[in-house]
Amino acid sequence: MTFENILTEKDNGLAIITINRPSKLNALNKATIQELHEAFRAMDADRDVKVIVVTGSGEKAFVAGADIAEFANFSVEEGEKLAAIGQELLFDLVQNLGTPVIAAVNGFALGGGLELAMAAHFRIASDNAKMGLPEVSLGVIPGYGGTQRLPQLVGKGRAMEMIMTAGMIGAEEAKAYGLVNHVVPQAELLDFTKGIAAKIMKNSPVAIAKAIQAINANYEDGVNGFSTEVKLFGESFGTEDFKEGTTAFLEKRKAEFPGR
């Protein structure tokens, strides 16, 4: 797969998607969002891919926001369409992907960049990372899910403060808030993330996909997450991964999951 704005690589079940617009601090424009959509879809469809890591090129930024020049002159209708299409193409897609997605946040993750990181299943940050949603300083609000996912992750009060001040928080503060799971030196970020991915890859990819679906169900309006869990728990019993996992446990050996 060849793209203009992103790089992709695969190695032993791990796929890495790198946003590669260093001159723009990896800002998200329409073309990059479309390429990310295609890359995530392709990786999720690839049976050999067990975990996806998304990161930014260089040491300065994961994604420093959206490309403001693209929408500075938009009308009300164009603005609404921009948010709706973006959420559908990328941010909701990532959140609901059956393959685990880890955001390796190196440097600035602002606006759409933080929204992309929050759409991932969890986040690991370099010690120089800075995160924020500065949209209100431009006269708009976050439009790629930021007003919804940030309160889910850090609580309503902190989300209100972050969004209303348009300020940035550092990596350690983000960890204290629960926005990121780990903070590591930048030079160690990818290796540390790969280490967690390796632990994930030892487990059943079918069960992991169902777990993602069940966890996400708790945040959907009108959906009973407990009922979803019961249903997906039951479905697990009909999978080859369940047969292999339980057989391996009883035989005191490591499971070799057939996978998705």
Helix (H, G, I), strand (E, B) or coil at 106: coil
pLDDT value at 52 more than 90:
yes
Selected catalytic residue, list 9, 38, 70, 135: 135
The two structure tokens encoding residue 6:
């992103």
- Residue 88 known to be catalytic: no
- Residue 77 annotated among the catalytic residues of the structure: no
Confidence of residue 149 (pLDDT cuts 50, 70, 90): very high
Q: What is the mean pLDDT of residues 13-36?
A: 95
Q: How far is CA 166 from CA 94, 133, 256, in A?
A: 25, 6, 48
CA distance 166 to 162: 6
% the chain with pLDDT above 70: 99
Domain boundaries, given as residue ranges, for the chain:
6-201, 205-250
Average pLDDT, the chain: 96
Residue 67, pLDDT score: 84
Q: Is the pLDDT of residue 260 over 80?
A: no
Residue 66 predicted with pLDDT over 90: no
65 touches 24 (CB < 8 A): no
- What pLDDT does residue 70 have? 87
Cβ atoms of 106 and 84 within 8 Å: the answer is no
Q: What is the pLDDT of residues 109-122, one digit of tens each?
A: 999 999 999 999 99
Distances (CA, A) of 91 to 95, 113, 195: 6, 10, 25
Q: Using 50, 70 and 90 to split pLDDT, how confident is the model at 221?
A: confident
Global pTM value: 0.96
HEC sequence for 195-238: HHHHHHHCCCHHHHHHHHHHHHHCCCCCCCHHHHHHHHHHHHCC
Per-residue pLDDT band for 69 (boundaries 50, 70, 90) equals: confident
Q: What's the burial of 53, exposed, middle or buried (CB within 10 Å: 0-12/13-18/19+)? A: buried
Q: Which residues contact 113 (CB under 8 A, 6 or more apart)?
A: 26, 27, 28, 56, 61, 62, 63, 64, 65
Structural element, H or E, at residue 104? strand 101-105
Among candidate residues 115, 188, 240, 244, the one labeled active-site is 115
Q: Please state, for a pLDDT cut of 90, what percent of the chain lies above it.
A: 93
How does residue 72 score in pLDDT terms, banded at 50, 70 and 90?
confident
Residue of 126 and 260 predicted with greater confidence? 126
User: What average pLDDT does range 101-106 have in this prediction?
Assistant: 98
Helices (H), the chain: 30-45, 76-86, 92-95, 112-119, 146-154, 156-165, 171-177, 189-201, 205-217, 225-236, 240-250
The string of pLDDT tens digits covering residues 162-184 is 999 999 999 999 999 999 999 99
For residue 1, pLDDT over 80 is answered with no
Sequence-separated (6 or more) residues with CB below 8 Å from residue 1: 8, 38, 39, 42
Q: How far is CA 21 from the centre of its chain?
A: 19
- How far CA 57 is from CA of 35, 150, 216, in Å, comes to 15, 24, 29
The CATH topology of domain 6-201 is 2-enoyl-CoA Hydratase; Chain A, domain 1 (3.90.226)
The stretch 180-202 carries a mean pLDDT of 97
- What is the β-pairing status of strands 168-170 and 14-19? unpaired
Mean pLDDT over 195-200 rounds to 98
Q: What are phi and psi of 246, to 5 degrees?
A: -70, -40
pLDDT confidence bin for 207, thresholds 50/70/90: very high
